[in-house]
Amino acid sequence: MIYRRMGRTGLQLSALSFGSWVSFHKQIGDATANELMSIAYEQGINFFDNAEGYALGESEKMMGRVLKTKDWDRSSYVLSSKVFFGWRKENKPNQTGLSRKHIVEACHEALDRLQTDYLDLYFCHRPDPAVPIEEVVWTMHNLITQGKVLYWGTSMWSGAEIMEAHRVAQQYRLIGPVVEQPQYNLFERMKMEQDYLPVFQNVGMGTTIWSPLAAGFLTGKYLQGMPEGSRLGLEGFEWLRDRWLQEEKIAKLKKLNELAVELGVSIGNLAIAWTLANPNTTTAILGATRKEQLVDNLKALDVLPLLTPQVLARIDEIMGNKPFLNLA
Amino acid sequence: MIYRRMGRTGLQLSALSFGSWVSFHKQIGDATANELMSIAYEQGINFFDNAEGYALGESEKMMGRVLKTKDWDRSSYVLSSKVFFGWRKENKPNQTGLSRKHIVEACHEALDRLQTDYLDLYFCHRPDPAVPIEEVVWTMHNLITQGKVLYWGTSMWSGAEIMEAHRVAQQYRLIGPVVEQPQYNLFERMKMEQDYLPVFQNVGMGTTIWSPLAAGFLTGKYLQGMPEGSRLGLEGFEWLRDRWLQEEKIAKLKKLNELAVELGVSIGNLAIAWTLANPNTTTAILGATRKEQLVDNLKALDVLPLLTPQVLARIDEIMGNKPFLNLA
Amino acid sequence: MIYRRMGRTGLQLSALSFGSWVSFHKQIGDATANELMSIAYEQGINFFDNAEGYALGESEKMMGRVLKTKDWDRSSYVLSSKVFFGWRKENKPNQTGLSRKHIVEACHEALDRLQTDYLDLYFCHRPDPAVPIEEVVWTMHNLITQGKVLYWGTSMWSGAEIMEAHRVAQQYRLIGPVVEQPQYNLFERMKMEQDYLPVFQNVGMGTTIWSPLAAGFLTGKYLQGMPEGSRLGLEGFEWLRDRWLQEEKIAKLKKLNELAVELGVSIGNLAIAWTLANPNTTTAILGATRKEQLVDNLKALDVLPLLTPQVLARIDEIMGNKPFLNLA
Amino acid sequence: MIYRRMGRTGLQLSALSFGSWVSFHKQIGDATANELMSIAYEQGINFFDNAEGYALGESEKMMGRVLKTKDWDRSSYVLSSKVFFGWRKENKPNQTGLSRKHIVEACHEALDRLQTDYLDLYFCHRPDPAVPIEEVVWTMHNLITQGKVLYWGTSMWSGAEIMEAHRVAQQYRLIGPVVEQPQYNLFERMKMEQDYLPVFQNVGMGTTIWSPLAAGFLTGKYLQGMPEGSRLGLEGFEWLRDRWLQEEKIAKLKKLNELAVELGVSIGNLAIAWTLANPNTTTAILGATRKEQLVDNLKALDVLPLLTPQVLARIDEIMGNKPFLNLA
């Protein structure tokens, strides 16, 4: 396993990490979760990602139960949660969003569900335009002061929103966000490769990217249509299906596959490795639901050395979506 | 129910809320308090207001006992207390006012009486010229840092005093006050409509207004003299009686009543709705002592849409007390 | 002559000073202005007050011409101007108010009219709700940095607005306002005796008060009705007339007059001296239009020692308008 | 004419303004420039936009010559320049970009060419990734301190870059940028309607938008192909031509034209008014080269009241490019 410093912090994350997003509780039970987390841990993965909103809190409870069965040092892994969406079926005012009241209460609830004393990472799962960023920064800072959180970050915020958080942190001399969890894969490049550049350059930031495989689309299993039981067939995820199953994208996929074959690797591992080739990526979160899948994904680390400037240029040509940097 | 952000914070308060001021312990017992709070909660009220000085601490104890019987999520409602007047019959030095010693001790005592781990809102019940505002701001900030308070505010402070608190917060990089609890009703307009304007404009502030009905005077029950058992007849509230029972005010009251009749609403609901028509009002605190009264007060929300600019202008004409803004 | 430090600054102003407001250009010409300023200067008055808006710039031009004829050291007197109202008959956007553009341009224009290199005091003549106080503070600070202004202040701002200016100055480490020019006399006490108290207490501030004689009303000449040619008879000042000529005020005036007679002084000098008895008053601006008037006004300094606590209490009783300080 | 405050500043700009971009020197001479600026000024336009890069400095020289012939108060209009591209045919190192050396030298050169003592607005014409934003903010701040510039801004910066400028201003207590000059029209909406939103909300910013007519494309003259002599036919502007002359855009243009006909207005004025309907637009810069054109453009103000929510929704439907705000 490779470990990388998370942005300008001293925290080291494994370059590949393990997330529970659409899998825990919805697709897999405690036994499988336990098996997958064990493999991940043994292979050197040290970051387990979670959120209050995943399966309405059930995902955190499951991860908490699994961790309870282990004799792993608490210091040997990094645990996250995220606040924004709430976990109740019907949320009242102040039970979602980024008000101080919700962040504080959600943190306490997440600690309970995960059965731990502190979160290593705590993310604002979305920006909340109805709450001043000042209130968010102060609240996260206070949770760090109280020892309940070690580092805080953002997820799916714009570059301007992240910079505003840093401006406020500067103004009040507070601890600002140090990590962002964006979507990043061969089809979604704008945020990581353009919008965040002034952030990376001026204040620094780690990234724990999600969906490196574009919800499985980049595994190649959709080259010939959609199989039964795959994530894209789950109820509530139709929007993912519509977005990807377009002819143009299938065409690009086929060319990528040819390149993968040429390199002697799977298209999925090529796609994962490609996200790691971006020096601003700290870790790519894997969402495997089966043992074989996870073991296979881990081989992406072996593909990384194959991504020479020449290969990366060919990928850019195939995708045709490299952001144009207007450097005048 | 309508919910409003409390000033620039992310906290949402119901536009009508429920206070225990002169009612709890003095006028009603646990059973009625329980009934009223249940109705309020079911109708969407999420803010319950209290203070150490209300009935010398008995009001908080009663509210704490009532809440103990409920299975309401702590995150589903907002609880306040206020510090300044003390709660003992004979207060020694440091048992009233805004010294760090009294604020900290009063907070712990209020948490005990309310049987909760934290106050959502904590107010300085009056300004205290004998204590540097710096000491007040630091103390409130520390209580927030400790997690015992989520937001702090002022009550009956002048605009200049509130701005001084913000200046000190700025100087030391602390969390300043975000809410003020002023008296506001058709007869008391200066603070909300003139003195606080630069505060609203420059640093923002929510308001949880008290006495929207002018201690019941605006309910119309005094149109023909003072009934037995009304709040204005209680011992210790003679000053309220003297203030309102003046001929000129009765005359205005009658004209307001005519307007209410014309609109097909009660004068009380017109008065409550009028306080909500001010965009700087977050919530109006109701002090109902009977079920029917509370249910009736809640209809004020239906009156709000009737308050067109034309109707508001007529009210201004009747009252003749709209502050003159010297905008040169 | 008595000299007082202007608030917490090191600048000393004569306790009585000389203003050009409604007199210069409108009531008197260069010769009289010259005579009055000479007497004032010889009697130790060192502060001459002016504004861009006085007689649409003509007042400043006249004062500039008079000063040009003198061999007075520039260091021996203090010169002010004020910005807000503009001086053109028809002002276009940005030719009034407190935008950076207008403040800077108005300063240059005032320096031209007064024929001087710098203003000792530069006042914002009114608050401007359409301009962030931040922009005002920055602009005034920069004019001080450039040496065009020595001290800056406000006029007719509320306590909250002044504190906001100090908060902003604190935030950006700028030079804040150090003097306010309020109306202050026996009939207008709220601002000086209540609203500004937290300002005096927390950040300090000098005051150059205007209208110590309530536009001449307190000279006693209206005891028997309004004489021809007095200031209250001038066109455009009807509002002053309406405000003062009310029976209740005349009644108080008569009682004040009795007290003055008892003390063996004129009611006018009693009124002026009374403003100086407030320790927060730095200087009272005189607006005399005749030599005898000015010479007489200067005797107010001799009345000051007569204002014992007992006499001040009697005045408070007569006026019945001493602000009630709710110190809980 | 309508005037709007430029963001949170106190400066007022006319809602329509006049720019010299591709017209001065390239398309029109002094006489026409004089005629156009006179009409603009008489119609209430008070903002004249310029840049060092427009016609390699010749545009500023021409505007300076025209203004020299006028007796307009300097305080009655707002003058801008922009720094980045340089003005020499062959620029050496330090003769372009945003280094302190170039910004300072370019400012002095622009003042010379425009024959004025200060610029009301000074823009960074593009972001310069090769210069720390810290150096840019410090330099602009110093120019303001020196009185050579009144307000500074950015042009075509990203939201994250603008926020970084504010973070730096916060850190060093400097005056940050207060205005941005983006391209904004019916075809280019992302920056104004999505990227800048956190900037508008958190620190505020005026906008002086350019190309409200999409380089003339939205005037309707391209409905049947490209006429001789139009701006899109000028050498060096081929990129504009390629961008707009696409079938899909022509189709949208025709539908817009139908809507304009229905409203009884020209498509051009509909397009201009539409940019003003965005509350975050301060002013739309017109680039008319003929008298009739300018007079006609000014009628856009009359179209503004026709843009009801219903009409705006129809426009959104026609264009199909309204940014999707992921507010979760």
pLDDT of residue A296: 96
pLDDT of residue D224: 72
Q: Which two tokens stand for residue B86?
A: 């003390």
pLDDT of residue B235: 63
> B197 contacts in C (CB within 8 Å)?
129, 160
Verify whether residue D54 is a known catalytic residue: yes
Phi, psi of A192 (to 5 degrees): -70, -35
- CA–CA separation, B71 and D221 (whole Å): 69
Closest of B304, B309, B261, B268 to residue B286, by C-alpha: B268
pLDDT of residue B231: 61
Q: Do C198 and B156 touch (CB under 8 A)?
A: no
Establish how many alpha carbons lie within 13 A of residue B181's alpha carbon, considering only the half-sphere containing its beta carbon: 26
The CA distance from C140 to the nearest CA of chain B, in Å, is 19
User: What does DSSP say about strands C47-49 and C16-19: parallel, antiparallel, or unpaired?
Assistant: parallel
Chains D and B touch (3+ CB pairs under 8 A): no
> C161 contacts in B (CB within 8 Å)?
163, 198
Phi, psi of A67 (to 5 degrees): -60, -35
Residue D92 is assigned to a structural domain of this protein: yes
pLDDT of residue A235: 62
Q: Which two tokens stand for residue A175?
A: 């601890």
- CA–CA separation, C119 and C52 (whole Å): 12
Phi, psi of A58 (to 5 degrees): -70, -30
- CA–CA separation, B61 and D34 (whole Å): 79
Mean of pLDDT values over B59-69:
98
Phi, psi of B133 (to 5 degrees): -60, -30
- CA–CA separation, B128 and A253 (whole Å): 71
- Which H/E stretch holds residue C198? helix C197-202
pLDDT value at A182 more than 80? yes
Assess contact for D291 and D39: CB atoms under 8 A.
yes
Q: How confident is the model at residue B155 (pLDDT cuts 50, 70, 90)?
A: very high
Chain A contacts to D (CB-CB under 8 A): 84-85, 125-127, 129, 132-133, 156, 158-164, 166-167, 170-171, 195-199, 201-203, 326-328
Separation of CA B178 from chain center: 14
Torsional sign, CA D159, D161, D165, D171: positive
Residue-wise pLDDT tens for chain C (328 aa)? 999 999 999 999 999 999 999 889 999 999 999 999 999 999 999 999 999 999 999 999 999 999 999 999 999 999 999 999 999 999 999 999 999 999 999 999 999 999 999 999 999 999 999 999 999 999 999 999 999 999 999 999 999 999 999 999 999 999 999 999 999 999 999 999 999 999 999 999 999 999 999 988 898 777 776 555 566 556 666 666 555 567 778 889 999 999 999 999 999 999 999 999 999 999 999 999 999 999 999 999 999 999 999 999 999 999 999 997 654 3
Residue A112 is assigned to a structural domain of this protein: yes
Q: Do A198 and D158 touch (CB under 8 A)?
A: yes
- CA–CA separation, C234 and C26 (whole Å): 9
- CA–CA separation, A101 and B11 (whole Å): 7
- Which H/E stretch holds residue C49? strand C47-49
Q: Which two tokens stand for residue A151?
A: 């580092």
- The count of residues in chain B is 328
C110 residue type, one letter: A
Decide: helix, strand or coil at residue C274: helix
What domain count does chain C have?
1
pLDDT value at A328 more than 50? no
How many Cβ atoms from other residues are within 10 Å of residue C217's Cβ?
28
End-to-end CA gap in chain C = 40
Mean of pLDDT values over A135-141:
98
D228 residue type, one letter: E
Residue D262 is assigned to a structural domain of this protein: no
Residue C298 is assigned to a structural domain of this protein: yes
pLDDT of residue B217: 86
Give me chain B's average pLDDT, please: 92
Facing residues of A3 across strands?
A: A14
pLDDT of residue A221: 79
Residue B65 is assigned to a structural domain of this protein: yes
The string of DSSP codes covering B117-173 is: S-EEEEEESS--TTS-HHHHHHHHHHHHHTTSEEEEEESS--HHHHHHHHHHHHHHT
A274-301 tens-digit pLDDT: 999 999 999 999 999 999 999 999 999 9
pLDDT value at B237 more than 90? no
Q: Considering only alpha carbons, which residue of chain B is nearest residue C328?
A: B126
DSSP one-letter code for C183 = B
- Which H/E stretch holds residue C281? none
Query: Widest CA span of chain A, in angstroms?
Result: 57
Decide: helix, strand or coil at residue C5: strand
Give me chain A's average pLDDT, please: 92
Q: Considering only alpha carbons, which residue of chain D is nearest residue C91?
A: D76
Torsional sign, CA B240, B246, B250, B253: negative
User: What does DSSP say about strands D206-209 and D283-286: parallel, antiparallel, or unpaired?
Assistant: parallel
pLDDT of residue B18: 98
Q: How confident is the model at residue B328 (pLDDT cuts 50, 70, 90)?
A: very low
- CA–CA separation, B261 and B254 (whole Å): 11
Provide the annotated active-site residues of A: 54
pLDDT value at B49 more than 50? yes
Mean of pLDDT values over A121-126:
98
Tell me what percent of the residues of chain B surpass a pLDDT of 70.
92
- CA–CA separation, B153 and A195 (whole Å): 38
pLDDT value at A327 more than 60? no
Assess contact for A85 and A59: CB atoms under 8 A.
no
Mean of pLDDT values over B137-150:
96
Q: What CATH number does the domain containing B66 carry?
A: 3.20.20.100
Chain C contacts to D (CB-CB under 8 A): 88, 92-95, 97-102, 104-105, 128, 130-132, 135-136, 138, 142, 145-146, 171-174
Q: Do D75 and C102 touch (CB under 8 A)?
A: yes
Residue D223 makes CB contacts below 8 A (sequence gap 6+) with D250, D253, D254, D257
Decide: helix, strand or coil at residue B185: strand
Assess contact for C213 and C272: CB atoms under 8 A.
yes
Lowest mean pLDDT among A316-320, B291-295, C244-248: C244-248
Closest of A52, A198, A41, A43 to residue A113, by C-alpha: A52
Residue C135 is assigned to a structural domain of this protein: yes
The CA distance from B131 to the nearest CA of chain C, in Å, is 11
Assess contact for D51 and D85: CB atoms under 8 A.
yes
Mean of pLDDT values over A82-97:
97
Kindly give the parts of chain D with pLDDT less than 50: 327-328
Lowest mean pLDDT among A143-152, A234-243, B108-117, D295-304: A234-243
DSSP one-letter code for B37 = H
- CA–CA separation, A285 and A121 (whole Å): 14
Mean of pLDDT values over B135-159:
97
- Which H/E stretch holds residue D159? helix D159-172
Residue C49 is assigned to a structural domain of this protein: yes
| Residue-number span of the structural domain to which D85 is assigned | 3-219+268-307
3-state secondary structure C126-177: CCCCCCCHHHHHHHHHHHHHCCCEEEEEECCCCHHHHHHHHHHHHHHCCCCC
Chain B contacts to A (CB-CB under 8 A): 3, 5, 8-12, 14, 46, 73-76, 78, 120, 144-147, 150-151, 173, 175
Q: Which two tokens stand for residue B34?
A: 């329980």
C101-115 tens-digit pLDDT: 999 999 999 999 999
Cα separation values, D62 from D10, D21, D54, D119, Å: 29, 12, 11, 16
Residue D69 is assigned to a structural domain of this protein: yes
Q: Considering only alpha carbons, which residue of chain C is nearest residue D8?
A: C132
Assess contact for A134 and A174: CB atoms under 8 A.
no
Residue A236 makes CB contacts below 8 A (sequence gap 6+) with none
How many Cβ atoms from other residues are within 10 Å of residue C1's Cβ?
12
- CA–CA separation, C167 and D188 (whole Å): 40
- CA–CA separation, A195 and D194 (whole Å): 12
Q: Do A326 and D156 touch (CB under 8 A)?
A: yes
Provide the annotated active-site residues of C: 54
Residue D218 makes CB contacts below 8 A (sequence gap 6+) with D185, D186, D187, D212, D253, D256, D267, D268, D271
* Alpha helical stretches, state H, A51-123: 58-68, 100-114
- Which H/E stretch holds residue C172? helix C159-172
Helix, strand, coil percentages for chain A (3-state, nearest 5): 45, 15, 40
Q: Which two tokens stand for residue C301?
A: 């300094």
- CA–CA separation, A53 and A244 (whole Å): 24
